[in-house]
Structure 1
Amino acid sequence: MFSNVFRQSWLALAYRCSGAVVSFLFGVSFARMMNIEEYGALMSLMTFALVASTVGLVGQQFRVLREIPSIAARKNYPEIGAIVAKRLRVACLGSVAVTVIALLPFVAAHGRNGIFGSWQYATSVLLILPLSLIEMQSSLGRTLGSVNLALVSKDVLWRFLIILLGAVLFTTYGHPLPAQDVLLIATAILVVLIAAQNIYLRHLAEGCKVFTMAVRRSNDRLGEVLSTSGPFWVTSVTSIMGGTVDLVVISVMVGPEAAGYYYAASRIALLLDFFLATFCIPAAPLIARLFDENRHAEITRITSGASLGAFVAVLGCVATLALGGDLALMAFGETFTRAYSVLMVLAIGMLVSTYFGIGPIALNMTGHQRAAMHIVVITWVAGILAMIGATWTFGTIGAAVAGSCAGIATRVWTAAYIYSAEGIDITATTALRALVRRTTSRGTSEPHSEAIRPEASGTILDLQPVRGSRDTRT
């Protein structure tokens, strides 16, 4: 089962593991190179910039991911370049506008307490446009079948280079690093990585420029662009805010010190999501192609098998954290063991969410982006409101419970919707039933479908329909 599910994503799994390790080292390293107030401010400001960059993208990264796979299979690079140029132009304009808007909290709160009260922290807004551009490159790389472009720079190299340059500054000057210096380093590194990736994109496209705004004037009206991009936009913004707003809420309501402890616990808990996150790298464009070819049963087998495999892996990780979570937190510092209860709440929430599959991405890749938008907005607005109340009453543990419940509700609702609308089961249920039947009836002959087994030497873009195969809805 693991072989069939991850055959096309083993490289993505290796990069995700590396990225998880680097992300963990990033948190640990700066926890030791900064005082707790600066550390909490840095993590909060980077989260703020990440949310702002997602807003500035206007959903264009998902539009690229949905529109390009079938064209990429035909290797029609001029058409890809024309489509991406339009999407990139919208993303750049949106990111610049959001950068200007993001300065307003610093202007309004100047001189007051909190992360927005210090003008030097406004350097965080410089991250917004580069983060948007590298995310667009990542989406385009996924559609062209490049796991390297999708993951290496933004998941591994970026944080690793920040750690390296930050350590040089810390060693040279011998005093705790200020957050604004780290933010400037992060921005400069992103600019270099974007330029390098643009060269690699042109290589993948056999010399064609596929990441450029050099396109003939478009007749698309702003209203039409926002209408077609709106569901992708709202879903991406709400998802990223739902996954990061807890840190911002705690930083504002409880303080930077509590945010620093919470960040350490959340970084460890998020490591449990890399199993399904890894699968989504090659799976998102693959699902779009299979859906366009009306191969629903294959989508069920692939996604359900991945959910079951990820659930088993996360279950083992949760058991390990229950026994050794204190040791993992102590890597950030001895006082970080205070976040053990928060860590376990977040880890259990991640375990339950994993069972119900890949969530809104499945709806976005199967033409149900408006349903994904409604589900994500409703669950996360309710979750954020509950989080504010729970944080006010119970502190960080309340925020952890509210955030976990919102994440579970999103996954359950999206899984139920796509099953009702298309007969596609993205939860672990179908794969679990098949495994139980195979185990209890071993020795009996059962027909096996080879249509959904990608060849080991192929890529997701090489998967072709099998002659004579007929789709059956699960």
Structure 2
Amino acid sequence: MITTIVQFLRRDVTRGVVGTILLKVGSGALAFALFSLAARTMTPDGFGIFATWLSVAQIAAVVGLVGQESLLVRFLNEYQVGDRPDLAKGVLLSSLKIACVAMLIAIAAVALVANLRGDWWLLILTVSAYTAVSAGLMLGSQIARSLVSILMGEGNREFFWRVIVVLFLLAMLFGHKQLDPTELIAVMTMAMSLGLIVQIIAIARALPDLRGTTARSERSRWRSSSFHFWVASILEVANQYFDVILVYWMMDPATAGIYFAASRLANIFAMLSAALYTFGARRLPSLYFSKNHGEFERTLRLMAEVTALCVAAGLALIWIGGPYLLNLFGPHFTAQHSVLIVLAIGTAIQAAGGPSAAILQLTGHERIYVPVVAANVALRLVGFVVLIPWLGVLGAAIAATVSLALTTVALNILCRRRTGVDPSVLVLLRSSAWKRGSYAVRGADSAE
């Protein structure tokens, strides 16, 4: 067994997937520390307001990027494989211009709505700044991931800046000082700005010298793909953050904070999905466009092996240690263990489904991906309206899990039909069955 494990870990794909997962797990642990410390340094209502505005800012950042972050992953890989620096330069310049203009519009819209609500001007200013910097990190991480490394892309987006914020919150907690949402969002914005600066410098050094290259464009292709990427990104971020806004609106700030805490803990599986997407977005497109089908399928199979192990371990952790983890946010969070379990089941199913969304989007099938995610959002909204008045925050968790499970099944069916590959952990069962059948045939041949 030890020899098998060692051989498993020596595989290049395994090391890449495990390294990416460890980065995501580290980022998730820091996010957990950040939110639990924030809950303990704020009032229950203050934490709920902070969680709600954070969700609004994340949605606004994705809306303002208009799909350019996914567009860059899609076409930079294609142009690198095809040795087309002219088109690579063209798509980079085009995406940066579009994202800057659209982001200004999105930030202005958020500020206008907040002003009409009568929110404090300093809170509006900090949320606007946070939205802009968050969008910059999203876009920069995609470029850095393709041109530099996953560590530079995802590390600066999710890991390094959180260390600064966690240290700040620890100082506030030990100093017995209470924060308001505006102060914490301002600190997060400043820490993220440092990460964005490092990211920009790394990208500038990694970019080939394109000053003498004439930029060329494929605007019709870019426009069509970016629209579908944009809609898909909006729907995905709505799945992650719109729940909190709805709970805030339909119930109260304190309950929104509780749901936010439980959903962040359940995201232990969403982190796995994000790690698979991150690794897949860097490795799978180049294999697909170079028509290396054998390595493409081998990569997916090894990713499924890592996923199965992580899902089993994660479910055990949530089931046994859930109350202790919730208690880190505060004693009143512990009673929501059932909410955490329900949410974790949904995100575990999503993780077990593998990177089907990434494969569909990055192999040119993004158009069929959008309706499925739209149906997921619609189903979740209906579930919230029906179940929250009946079951409260548990109803919200049930609605989220059911919609997520159905969407995962639908995406996997589409992925198998359109690309011919199964990205889920079920591929391991079929592989085992095939091997047993092969051994049976060999045994029969030997007997003859």
**TM-score, shorter chain, exceeding 0.5:** yes
Tell me if 1:88 matches 2:96: yes
Q: Does the Cα contact within 8 Å between 2:17 and 2:306 map onto a contact in 1? A: no
Greater fraction of residues in helix: 2
What is the aligned partner in structure 2 of residue 334 from structure 1? 331
- In the TM superposition, structure 1's runs of 4+ consecutive aligned residues that sit over 6 Å from their partners are 215-221, 439-446
After the TM superposition, which residues 387-426 of structure 1 pair with which residues of structure 2 at under 5 Å, given as runs?
387-426=384-423
Q: Distance in 2 between matches of 1:166 and 1:317?
A: 27
How many percent of aligned residue pairs carry the same amino acid?
22
Partner-residue secondary structure (3-state), 1:9: helix
After the TM superposition, which residues 131-146 of structure 1 pair with which residues of structure 2 at under 5 Å, given as runs?
131-144=134-147, 146=149
What is the aligned partner in structure 2 of residue 198 from structure 1? 200
Partner-residue secondary structure (3-state), 1:239: helix
Q: Does the Cα contact within 8 Å between 1:307 and 1:358 map onto a contact in 2? A: no
Q: Does the Cα contact within 8 Å between 2:60 and 2:110 map onto a contact in 1? A: yes
Q: Does the Cα contact within 8 Å between 2:141 and 2:152 map onto a contact in 1? A: yes
What is the aligned partner in structure 1 of residue 241 from structure 2? 244
Query: What residue identity is the alignment partner of 1:63?
Result: L
Q: CA deviation at 1:440?
A: 7.9
| Among 47, 57, 67, the residue aligned to 2:65 | 57
Q: Where does the alignment leave 5 or more consecutive residues of structure 1 unmatched? A: 111-116, 447-474
After the TM superposition, which residues 13-412 of structure 1 pair with which residues of structure 2 at under 5 Å, given as runs?
13-73=21-81, 79-110=87-118, 117-122=119-124, 123-144=126-147, 146-168=149-171, 174-205=176-207, 208=209, 226-296=223-293, 298-412=295-409
Partner-residue secondary structure (3-state), 1:68: helix
Of the structure 1 ranges 312-321 and 246-255, higher mean CA displacement relative to structure 2 is found in: 312-321
Q: CA deviation at 1:277?
A: 2.1
Q: Does the Cα contact within 8 Å between 1:305 and 1:428 map onto a contact in 2? A: no
Q: Distance in 1 between matches of 2:222 and 2:148?
A: 26
**Cα 1:318/1:170, change in 2 over 3 Å:** closer
Q: Distance in 1 between matches of 2:84 and 2:66?
A: 25
Of the structure 1 ranges 95-104 and 426-435, higher mean CA displacement relative to structure 2 is found in: 426-435
Q: CA deviation at 1:153?
A: 1.2
Q: Does the Cα contact within 8 Å between 2:280 and 2:355 map onto a contact in 1? A: no
Q: Does the Cα contact within 8 Å between 1:61 and 1:135 map onto a contact in 2? A: yes
Q: Distance in 2 between matches of 1:79 and 1:164?
A: 43
Tell me if 1:432 matches 2:420: no
CA-based RMSD: 2.9
Q: Distance in 2 between matches of 1:272 and 1:348?
A: 9
Q: Deviations over 1:326-365 (max 9, x none)?
A: 1111111222102101100011112222222223221101
What is the aligned partner in structure 2 of residue 6 from structure 1? 14
**Cα 1:261/1:79, change in 2 over 3 Å:** same
Q: Distance in 2 between matches of 1:130 and 1:47?
A: 15
**Cα 1:404/1:170, change in 2 over 3 Å:** same
Partner-residue secondary structure (3-state), 2:16: coil
Q: Where does the alignment leave 5 or more consecutive residues of structure 2 unmatched? A: 444-448
Q: Does the Cα contact within 8 Å between 1:69 and 1:144 map onto a contact in 2? A: no
Q: Deviations over 1:285-308 (max 9, x none)?
A: 322222223344543442244234
Q: Does the Cα contact within 8 Å between 1:296 and 1:422 map onto a contact in 2? A: no
Q: CA deviation at 1:282?
A: 2.5
Query: What residue identity is the alignment partner of 1:83?
Result: V
Q: Distance in 1 between matches of 2:49 and 2:436?
A: 52
**Cα 1:307/1:402, change in 2 over 3 Å:** farther
Q: CA deviation at 1:77?
A: 5.7
Q: Distance in 1 between matches of 2:256 and 2:22?
A: 30
